Structure 1
Amino acid sequence: MNEVPVAPTGPSRLRVLQSFGTPGATSNPYITRLFSSTPGVEQHAFSWRYALTGRFDVLHIHLVEVMFVRRGRIRTVVGVVLFLLLLLRTRVSRIGIVRTLHNVKPHEAQSRLVQWALSICDRRTDLWIRLNSNTVPPTGAPVVTIPHPDYREWFALHDVPASIPGRLLFFGLIRPYKDVDALVRAFTSVADDALSLHIVGDPQTAELREIIERAGHGDPRITLSFGYADDSTLATEIGESELITLPYREMHNSGAALLGLSLHRPVLVPDNSVTAALADEVGEPWVQRFSGAFDGTAIVQALASVRRQGSDGSPDLTARSWDASGSAHEAAYARAVELAAIRIRPRRAAAQAGGRLYS
């Protein structure tokens, strides 16, 4: 692994094609802010027409499989073919490919065709962006670490109410790996009428929704609010919570955890090297952790710890500003262009760079 330094660059006319479409009202703020935080870069939202015919210097890929996995095998095959054509175009045109490693691997099982396309993209990537220093990229291409920025400015105009003692909250897109049904079952096992649990988010499937409804059936302390939640609703729900519970089976990076911390609420997350590092960074009381299968004991212990240690003040998020992230992304894009030139014409590019080659 070849960690490369990140430093701000000067004025740039680099054209960057992001792997997601034009941000809208329901888009993750991370996507929207990435556009506005790189003023030295000409950002373009993704469309297949522009990807295959437009002019750009860098392709920035986030979740690769999202670009071409569709409902139905035939549609996915078509998506893979388009994606491979795009990779071919980047190679012929010396377009750099930057990949942000939001996760170590896809959360859902993928077909052999999709795995094959992912492996080709791995080998074709010129530069990796990881969100924490524990991430090991799939290849030895250069890597930069750019921490996931916070959401403090994004939610600054929203009212955040005082917390309600005993209120637990899960929010976000509900997918199987997040183990929300286990959270509901664990909560029902805790015999404490002073506790309440709010589930706010959109289940990925109708089946998952039914599983969660069955798990919480008959417990009046549980409130299920399925569907999209706007920023104002999230600010209210997060503000009223005493503890945000995120019982994921696997957690490597979590925008939900950072959003909770941005609004000064402690989070309960799986215990691993990444979440331990987050606790060291922002302060131990703010990042409660559980080991093994999630159960009622994890809830009771986390609440007791939060109340014992207190959560006065705010978590330390100084290392997660959008200004720093934007400058780091601009530098990463510029480096990817250099690496693409070296990859295509190593001898000529090496001469222009003073003989220095990057692995």
Structure 2
Amino acid sequence: MTQQPTNTSDSPLAKADMPVSTRKLTVLQVLPDPARYPGPVENPYTSLLVDSLDGTAIRTEYFRWTTAFWRPFDVVHFHWPEYMARHRSALVSTIKCLLLWLFILRVRASRSALVRTVHNVAPHESGPALERRVLAALDSATTLWIVLNSATQTPVPSRTRLLPHGHYRDWYDAPRVGASTRGRLLTFGLQRAYKGTNTLIEAFGQLPQPDFQLHVCGKPATAQDRIEISQAAQESADIHLDLRFLDDAELVDEIAASETVVLPYRSMHNSGAALLALSLNRPIIVPLSEATALLVQEFGPQWVVTYAGQLTGEALRSALERVRGAKREPEVDMASREWGTLARLLEQMYHEAVSLAKAGRR
């Protein structure tokens, strides 16, 4: 999609106390329904988002293909639309693309509002031509864009609103004081090539000090990712791999035990892992980007340590020195990421989107 700089100068962040319509809106969330798919989740962000709307004038329903073309709704909210069009079978993927295209036509014909949260600048893995055409049609049908930080670009800046990623303190237990281990570094999350885990392993091997250990936690996205990470780590006894999906308690224990969390992504825009580490009061080491510079501005360089370019042993050593030399309060100030405030903002955005859709603005 053709992108322009996002203008969030009119962001409703400063208008959390503005009155909103009391009319109940039905919002169709294009997300897995936790009632149909119970069990652990890879990222509880969406559950926290939906749960925060309890007590507002928003009635949440979840998207199902079996009811998508007849169920009435005021707003449909997409998060990662590329997954609506994907399947391991090429035939099924084609069918899903065509169904999504028909659903977009249904939204336009009914003059319902289509809201899109932009989590990534582009999908992590590109899809076929038909998928790209359908996603372009979705862009054209979008009524209101939501971004998680002001560095995100959208096709229509005038209809873009800022809604920051909320914290994770309502989901995960805070680690006990003094739980961290000096010299213990952690990287975690779904292991995908763009996250640069192999680069971190190589940089870790160049650290001159012998008192460090690196823990790599998270299920690899592909068999090839698993092979590459395992091979990269096999020569060091100070690298500990746990290449599986960790449950909530296990993940909290890993974060709590770490001195710092290192996220060496090749390109970092939005990161739930970064917000989770900060939510649990652990400093993070991340690549310098426009988005991470905003995190430094918000939370301070004592909590968010950046490095320029590709992570090397020297860059990692320097970042660790800054982590250890910084003075920090016991907890990260997450006041700007409170879900109650964000829910009121999102409620306003839904009502604004309905007004825009009724006026024919897409």
Using the size of structure 1 for normalisation, the TM-score is 0.91
1:69 aligns with 2:80: no
**Post-superposition offset of 1:9:** 2.2
How far does residue 285 in structure 1 lie from its aligned partner after superposition?
1.0
Q: Deviations over 1:92-130 (max 9, x none)?
A: 111100000111111112222221111111111000000
Letter in 2 for 1:30: Y
User: 2:133 matched to 1:122?
Assistant: no
Counting only pairs closer than 5 Å after superposition, residues 243-322 of structure 1 correspond to structure 2 as: 243-322=260-339
Q: Within 5 Å, which residues of 2 pair with 1:1-359?
A: 3=8, 4-6=10-12, 7=18, 9-23=20-34, 24-27=38-41, 28-39=43-54, 40=56, 41-140=58-157, 142-156=159-173, 162-343=179-360
CA distance in 2 between counterparts of 1:274 and 1:113 reads 31
Change beyond 3 A, Cα 1:86–1:297? same
SS of aligned partner of 1:292: coil
User: Does the CA contact (< 8 Å) of 1:126 and 1:141 recur in 2?
Assistant: no
Question: CA separation in 2, counterparts of 1:157 and 1:187?
Answer: 28
> Which position in structure 1 is the counterpart of 2:15?
none
**1:174 match: secondary structure:** coil
State how far apart, in whole Å, the 2-side matches of 1:183 and 1:272 are.
18
1:12/1:234 CA distance change after superposition, 3 Å: farther
> Cα distance, 1:299 vs. partner?
1.7
Q: Tell me, what secondary structure is at the counterpart of 2:302?
A: helix
Poorly superposed stretches of 4+, deviation over 6 Å: none
Instruction: Note the aligned Cα RMSD (angstroms).
Output: 1.8
2:3 paired residue number: none
Aligned residues: 345
Q: Could you tell which deviates more after superposition, 102-111 or 60-69?
A: 102-111
Deviation per residue, 1:242-297 (Å, 9 max, x gap):
11010001111111000000111000111011111111111111001111111212
When normalised by structure 2's length, the TM-score is 0.91
Overall identity of the aligned pairs, in %? 39
Cα–Cα, structure 1 residues 5 and 278, in superposed 2: closer, same or farther, change >3 Å? closer
Check 1:2–1:271 CA distance in 2 against 1; reply closer, same or farther (3 A cut): closer
Question: Is the 2:186–2:215 contact (alpha carbons within 8 Å) kept by the matching residues of 1?
Answer: yes
Q: Which runs of 5+ in 2 are unaligned?
A: 1-5, 13-17
Q: Which moved more, 1:69-78 or 1:257-266?
A: 69-78
- Give the gaps of 5 or more residues in structure 1: 344-357
In structure 1, what is the Cα distance between the partners aligned to 2:25 and 2:175? Answer: 35
Q: Cα offset for 1:162?
A: 1.2
| C-alpha contact (below 8 Å) 1:8/1:328 kept by paired residues | no
SS in 1 for 2:217: strand
Q: Which residue of 2 aligns with 1:355?
A: none
Residue pair 1:127, 1:141 contacting (<8 A) in 2 also: no
CA contact (8 A) 1:128 1:141 kept: no
| 2-structure distance, mates of 1:327, 1:85 | 32
Shift of residue 134, structure 1, vs aligned partner: 1.3
Rounded to whole Å, the distance in 2 between the matches of 1:168 and 1:2 is 37
Deviations 1:317-357 (A, max 9, x none): 211100011111111111111111111xxxxxxxxxxxxxx
Change (3 A) 1:158 1:14: farther
